[in-house]
Structure 1
Amino acid sequence: MLDFESRNELIPLEVAVQISIDIAEGLCVMHTHTTHPMAHGDLKPENVLLTDDDHAMLSAKATESYTSHSTKEVQPSEYSSPERLDDTDQKGTPASDIWSLGVMLHWMVTGRSLFESESLSNMIRAISKFNTSEISTSLPPAIRDVLVRLLDPNPDSRPTSTELFKDRLLERMLGPETPLSKMKDQQIQLLEKKVADLIEEKRDEREADGGVEKKAHKDTQATSHDRRADIRSIHETEELSLAQFHRGKS
């Protein structure tokens, strides 16, 4: 992800949203694992790898044990959550991963770091005293609303990685007028047209085959009628023969 920064390029919103969704998906797998749930604990751009088509994959150093929280203690960084700066809780949690995602998302959509500082003490102070009112109001409301939720100083108020998918929170940043949304609308319209054309084609085929089907149905009915007539004739013949037989005996 740092390649964008090295080229002084702002990550396109569509790409930023896709990256965020991929990261959230990876976190969801880690946080809700059935046997070994754990937090990443060190989420930052250096630990996110991008494929050629800009899909994100998480990377991390493996730990020897797996718990409900990350066992890896890391040095404070601009992506550390306020609660991680508390000496009583240095381990990563699912909620601290969500905070880190929020800081990364802010960097992706604005091109600037939220807590970058020349000194570690100033950075820690800025994170500890952070309030969501500090998020720029010049950002589109849909993006700002997501950042406000991800960067809530209270870890219990942040959405979980599961809720990010359930509520489609990250996708809301695209809004109805974004190029990606328009592209999806065009794709949907194209698919709908193809389906409509296919239905019309099938209808024409059925109508064309209708005459044949009706004739075949009539032929079947005629055959059935002839067979029923033959059966009645046989029965009548048998009844007549039986009547003649009884008359002969009497």
Structure 2
Amino acid sequence: MPDKEDFATRYRLLRRLGSGGMGTVWLARDEMLDREVAVKELTMPPGVDEARRADLIARAVREAQATAQLRHPAVVALHDVAVHDGKPWIVMELLRGRSLADLVEERGPLPPRQVASLGAQLLDGLAAAHARGIQHRDVKPGNVFLTDSGRAVLTDFGIATLAGTETLTQTGMLIGSPGFIAPERLDGEQGGPASDLWSLGATLYYGVEGVAAYEGEAVARLSAALSGRVRPPRLAGPLTPVLMAMMTRDPAARPDAGSARWLLTQVAEGLVPETPGVQAPPPPPHAPAFPVPGTPPGPTPAPVPGVPPAPGPAARGRSRLWIAVAAACLVAAAGATAAVVLLGGGGERTEFTGPVDFCSLLTPAQIREITRVPRPPAGTPYQGGCAWTVRGSGVALVPHAGDDAAQPWAMSPQAAREFLAARERSYEQTQQITWEWKEIGAGRLNAATTPRRAVPELGEGAFAHDLTSELGRTHTGAVHFRVLNLVVEARYSTLSGRPTDADIRDGALKAARWARTALQNGK
């Protein structure tokens, strides 16, 4: 990290781009690399003593270092962090465009298909962050940036924390914005990836409706979130069931990231989403049910099997509501930021020591999204991993190990790293091979491997390559990656002429990304 003299010499501030509760953003020029960047000057609270200031700076630097691990089109890239004039400064990718909040304020509600497309992009960015143990914790319209080139980008991971890492303020400190904080976090729980999914749902709700899901002052919005009362959308159309599922009160009843992305993709493509198993549960006890405009009144629906009704505020205890009121007071004092103290902890896996159920790593919705078949096949054991096959198409997860390892999980993390590097070197040049996959109807075919290409978003050493036919058309995409001491290859093959070469590569990348996330989450 550069010292203050290095920072002042390298980065020349040109003009202020904006300011908010977290600090001021400047347009600057990186004199060393001769490029324009965005520099965020984080604001220190007034009146803090030196010890507290040092703690806040250390926290900001640590969280910036966490964000710097991310390399994804839907996450703003962080280039540098420094301490200058007693304040942290974060150097970021310069984005040209406007925030979702500004766009909706200027143009009003956006079409459901557009919002669904934005949501799918943002969900990919969140999945990449969650795969590294990072939660955003403040997904909201103001932190979603829409670039002039069409990218949807998550900004301001400044309050994200590495999962399992104690922050330097207080253990489990949670920060977020009223109306966009997941109810379980307000309710005194640590929260997790499902909490970011809830906040994304609330953000997309704002994008398509033009208003937040909760009305009123901060206290009213927090109380409504605690009780699970989501105002039914009026303009979302086919996006409605997706939003209601993402904003379900119970985190366990929300769709996983893969299912949510599939549903958003359906809406973005102009289809009516299939939402079996992801409908929002009925309103909790003591919470008034909002009638959906245009539907006749009817009895209260029965609870979803296997999902207990979300308890109302009375069941949670008066103390929970007072936590929300206290958070709202902090909002008024700190400028639209609420803080709740939670408890945290938990261990972290260091390596795999036994067999992995590879068939549990991908969901039916994820297989359906890759293969585009109405009824996704079930996974079956395949080459030590798992395969999902239909006639003419298949997805597979295959573990690999060196010759001296009896089982894929028998390698050490260092041995796995070296083994993956050796596999990468073996794909540096095009090779002619004979390929077959009988389960999808592919006999022995002549094929060529393309030179490997790096996939940095999947971690150190991850790479991809394709198999092409004698006519040069891609029929198989393969992505190799490592999680701790496990090296895995994700494949997607199709004999159909409909998917493009890019579609096939994207299918393999999705399988790898989702499988890697599942492995890191302990499945």
2:155 match: 59
Structure 1 gaps of 5+ residues are: 179-250
Mean Cα displacement is larger for which, 147-156 or 58-67?
58-67
1:225 match: none
Query: How big is the shift at 1:57?
Result: 1.0
Helix, strand or coil: the match of 1:50?
A: strand
2:211 match: 112
Contact in 2 for aligned 1:39/1:70 (Cα 8 Å): no
Helix, strand or coil: the match of 1:49?
A: strand
Whether 1:150 aligns to 2:246 is: yes
2:449 match: none
Q: 1:13 to 1:176 in 2, by over 3 A?
A: closer
Contact in 2 for aligned 1:38/1:69 (Cα 8 Å): no
Task: Give the Cα separation in 2 of the matches to 1:23 and 1:103.
Answer: 13
Whether 1:171 aligns to 2:272 is: no
Residues 126-158 of structure 1 deviation map (CA, whole Å, 9 limit, x = unaligned): 1112246x4246742x31110121011000111
Greater radius of gyration (CA): 1
**Partner AA of 1:4 in structure 2:** L
Q: How do residues 72-221 of structure 1 correspond to structure 2 at under 5 angstroms? A: 73-86=174-187, 88-89=188-189, 91-117=190-216, 119-131=217-229, 134-136=231-233, 139-140=236-237, 142-165=238-261, 168-174=262-268, 176=270
2:119 match: 20
Query: How big is the shift at 1:50?
Result: 1.4
Q: 1:70 to 1:47 in 2, by over 3 A?
A: farther
Contact in 2 for aligned 1:69/1:93 (Cα 8 Å): no
Query: How big is the shift at 1:10?
Result: 2.3
**Partner AA of 1:85 in structure 2:** L
Q: 1:19 to 1:158 in 2, by over 3 A?
A: same
TM-score using structure 2 length: 0.30
Q: 1:50 to 1:92 in 2, by over 3 A?
A: farther
Task: Give the Cα separation in 2 of the matches to 1:124 and 1:70.
Answer: 26
Q: 1:149 to 1:8 in 2, by over 3 A?
A: same
Q: 1:147 to 1:7 in 2, by over 3 A?
A: same
RMSD, matched Cα: 2.8
Q: 1:54 to 1:3 in 2, by over 3 A?
A: farther
Helix, strand or coil: the match of 1:135?
A: coil
Query: How big is the shift at 1:92?
Result: 4.6
Contact in 1 for aligned 2:214/2:221 (Cα 8 Å): yes
TM-score using structure 1 length: 0.59
**Partner AA of 1:169 in structure 2:** L
Contact in 2 for aligned 1:69/1:92 (Cα 8 Å): no
Contact in 1 for aligned 2:174/2:185 (Cα 8 Å): no
Which of 34, 39, 42 lines up with 2:138 in the alignment? 42
Percent of pairs with identical residues = 26
Bigger helix share:
1
Per chain length, whose mean CA-contact separation is higher, i.e. which structure has more relative contact order (CA < 8 Å, sep 6+)?
1
Bigger strand share:
2
Residues 148-206 of structure 1 deviation map (CA, whole Å, 9 limit, x = unaligned): 210110001112223334xx11022246479xxxxxxxxxxxxxxxxxxxxxxxxxxxx
